Structure 1
Amino acid sequence: MLKERDLIAVLPAKDLARARDFYRDVIGLDNPEDMEGNLLYRCGNGTGFLLYETENAGSAKNTQMGWATNNIEAEMEDLRSRGVVFEEYDFPGLKTENGVATTEGGKSAWFTDSEGNILNIFQRR
């Protein structure tokens, strides 16, 4: 049954070497596992994501992956110190202030990786 299986996100990268540098140097992830030329990163609780090379990277206009945190401000401070710039949004139902959107469900912030993929960190209430 799929509901009992680990879930792995899949992200596109135009340049795998550049993406590897970003996820190591900016995000702070350990070395990925080589999966037949693709990069598999492991995160908490059995989660992870696969980066594969394609010219289509950065073309999605939606959040592609996110990390849950217990302290979004500390995570943002750390990521900013590594060069991450958080997105600012202002449209019906969502407005950020200093990169953070606060809703009934919690707080969220978005940024892009080296390949133009939209990533997210969030803190539930």
Structure 2
Amino acid sequence: MLATSDVVAFAPATDLARARTFYERVLGLRVIDENAYAVVFDAHRTMLRVTAVAKVAHPGYTVLGWRVADLSKSVSGLVSLGVVFARYDGMEQDAQGVWTTPNGDHVAWFSDPDGNVLSLTEFR
């Protein structure tokens, strides 16, 4: 029933101005709408609504992720903008914080200003 409908992604934020700065200036997403309840971004033709909340729950897993063509280049670019990539105990990660999955995909994780876990994946 929804196979031909577009997905809308959501991320919570306690401070929409701070979230807008991060998603727009650091991640490079274009703002398409903003109001008191949300900042809406164009995430490569997917609508991302960063929604105002009083408190962000931290589920401990990735809430948004991007497929990238060159993970090393993407990580380096974000690091140059102040993004810190996560390191997880028990996972073998390289110097950039990249983990190689058993099938050879590469993944790196970072957080937005509200602690939402975001990821970049280079599929093999």
Q: Secondary structure at the match of 2:21?
A: helix
**Hey, which bits of structure 1, 4+ residues long, moved more than 2 A?**
34-37
Identity rate of aligned residues, in percent? Answer: 34
Gaps of 5+ in 2: none
Residue 102, structure 1, aligned to residue 105, structure 2: no
Q: Name the TM-score, length of structure 1 as normaliser.
A: 0.89
The residue type paired with residue 39 of structure 2 is: L
Residue 116, structure 1, aligned to residue 115, structure 2: yes
Q: CA deviation digits over 1:55-88, x for unaligned, max 9?
A: 2325221100000011000100100000000001
Mapped to 2, the partners of 1:105 and 1:39 lie a distance apart of 35
Counterpart of 1:31 in structure 2 is 31
Mapped to 2, the partners of 1:33 and 1:72 lie a distance apart of 29
The residue type paired with residue 114 of structure 1 is: P
| Number of aligned positions between the proteins | 122
Aligned-pair distance for 1:34?
2.3
> Going by fraction, where is helix more abundant, 1 or 2?
1
Q: CA deviation digits over 1:77-102, x for unaligned, max 9?
A: 100000000001133xx432221000
Counterpart of 2:17 in structure 1 is 17
Gaps of 5+ in 1: none
Shift in CA distance, 85/67, structure 1 to aligned 2, threshold 3 Å: same
The residue type paired with residue 17 of structure 2 is: A
Residue 66, structure 1, aligned to residue 74, structure 2: no
Shift in CA distance, 58/25, structure 1 to aligned 2, threshold 3 Å: farther
Aligned-pair distance for 1:43?
1.7
> Going by fraction, where is strand more abundant, 1 or 2?
1
Mapped to 2, the partners of 1:105 and 1:8 lie a distance apart of 29
Q: CA deviation digits over 1:9-38, x for unaligned, max 9?
A: 111001001100111221122224126631
RMSD: 1.6
